[in-house]
Amino acid sequence: MHVHDLSGLRGVTFNLSHSVHSLSFGDTYDGRVNPLDGHSRVFVDGSATKLVSYYVKVVPTLYTSLNGTETSSNQYSVTKHERSSVNLPGVFFYYEISPILVRITERRRSFGHFLTSVCAIVGGVFTVASLIDAFCYHSSRVIQQKLAIGKQT
């Protein structure tokens, strides 16, 4: 009998419900999101022959804060696949570590960037206001013309 051969356990049911309280790789830093933190999957009766696979891609990350402190850590993404399995029910995690390093550096925005953003907002407000004004003006002109035509007949 092979370790993955469950043919001798045909009548046995498995509860594959699982919870991931926390899964992280390395030190934490501001803004890091761990996709599997707090993830739960509950299976009901009849789903004992499931195979759940989590494919985790880990990316090394170097985070530099505003004060210059560097934190060497990792971030990850995850893809989950579920399928029925007659031979091998279970929950499996597969890891792949990326050869590419991601650098995240915090920077303050300049005053010029702030002014540009304010000008863009003010310009957008004026554009929308002029569109509304033009629509109202042309609508009132059309209504006045129709009323004038109706009075002449």
pLDDT tens digit sequence for 111-146:
999 999 999 999 999 999 999 999 999 999 999 888
Q: Is the pTM of this model over 0.75?
A: no
pLDDT tens digit sequence for 76-123:
999 999 888 766 778 899 999 999 999 999 988 899 999 999 999 999
DSSP line for the chain: --TT--GGGTT------EEES----B---TT---TTTTEEE---TT-TTEEEEEEEEEEEEEEE-TT--EEEEEEEEEEEEEEE-SS--EEEEEEEE-SPPEEEE--PPPHHHHHHHHHHHHHHHHHHHHHHHHHHHHHHHHHHHHHHHHHH-
Domain ranges of the chain: 7-105, 109-153
